Amino acid sequence: MAARLEMGIRNALEEIPPANERISTWLQHQSAPSNAVLFANLCVEEIVSNCVKYGYADRLEHVISLVVEIDADRVLVEIRDDGREFNPLTAPEPDLSGPVEERAIGGLGLRMVRGMTSGADYSREGGVNRLTLWKLLS
């Protein structure tokens, strides 16, 4: 049976480091391998920061829900938000051609998350984005 951590954070960038610290500590108490901790932290850092920066049309406080699960075979991260509809799984890859100073900003974080992910699922229901990412540990 998978161990599960659930939490909600405000849609503010300063909420991300304490959330990642809590996730790291919890995963370490579950005897998670370091690649599971790295994966969960990267997912939260990149996906939640994109959500905070680009997801909301207002300046109101919103709650972003985070779920982390781990079992012997995989670590799973689920992120739910009520921001604008956005499926990061279908976002275009960044253009890495040409000089760095001429490239468009953005997209590298999503690329890193995709590169570490074994599987993913996105849905939107009732005005809520739900992104589930997992990494196999074996």
Between the ranges 51-55, 75-79, 85-89, 109-113, where is the mean pLDDT highest?
75-79
Find tokens 């976002």 and name the residue.
91
Q: What is the pTM of this model?
A: 0.87
Do residues 21 and 9 lie in contact, with contact meaning Cβ atoms separated by under 8 Å?
no
Confidence of residue 112 (pLDDT cuts 50, 70, 90): confident
- 133 CB-side CA count, 13 A: 25
Do residues 76 and 130 lie in contact, with contact meaning Cβ atoms separated by under 8 Å?
no
| Domain assignments of the chain as residue spans, ordered by start | 3-136
State the pLDDT at residue 100: 46
pLDDT exceeds 80 at position 60: yes
- pLDDT digit string, tens, across residues 69-101: 999 999 999 999 999 999 988 866 655 555 645
Looking at residue 74, the DSSP 8-state letter turns out to be E
- 115 CB-side CA count, 13 A: 10
Cα(63)–Cα(78) distance, rounded to whole angstroms? 14
pLDDT exceeds 90 at position 105: no
Confidence of residue 103 (pLDDT cuts 50, 70, 90): very low
CATH superfamily of 3-136: Histidine kinase-like ATPase, C-terminal domain (3.30.565.10)
pLDDT exceeds 90 at position 42: yes
